[in-house]
Amino acid sequence: MRSARARAAGSAVLSLVVVSVLSSCATSNTRGGAGGTGLFGGGSSASVSYISSLQGGIVSRSGIQLSRGDYNKALEAEYRALETAPGGQAVTWSGSAKGEVVANAPYQVGNQNCRQYSHTITDNGREAKVRGAACRNADGTWTPLT
């Protein structure tokens, strides 16, 4: 039987591991704030691959037809919410339509960090809210769970 001291030490180690794993899924936003060019603005094929790995994101399931520009802003907001936003903090975007993406706290599936998230889209007075989940790959891209 383990002593109370050994159990406490084991709990402390487990807590440090959990904090370490959860903090490793958040990265700094090196692409600038809302005033920057965004992931699509620079034309970087690496940036486009991060967005394309979302496979249309959950915005594509909203039933709202967005312009290409609004669709790109919506996908970028989904990526930013998954990659950098603290759990529960909204990432907003706007154009001729507008939206808000909120990712929940990260959780582990196997060796991947995953997050559930929601996306509320408003266009011409019509609102749609869709929910989904995605897991972060070793290369930094996010793949939606189906």
Q: Which domain holds residue 83?
A: 41-144
- 137 φ, ψ (degrees, to nearest 5): -85, 165
Q: Is residue 34 part of a domain?
A: no
Whether residue 103 has pLDDT greater than 60: yes
Please state the domain count of the chain.
1
- 138 part of a folded domain: yes
Distance CA 42, CA 37 (A): 7
Residue 61 falls within a domain, yes or no?
Answer: yes
Cβ pair 133, 114 in contact under 8 A: yes
| Tokens describing residue 9 | 């030490």
* Reported pTM: 0.68
117: nearest Cα among 58, 62, 65, 63: 58
What are 114-133's pLDDT values in tens digits? 999 999 999 999 999 999 99
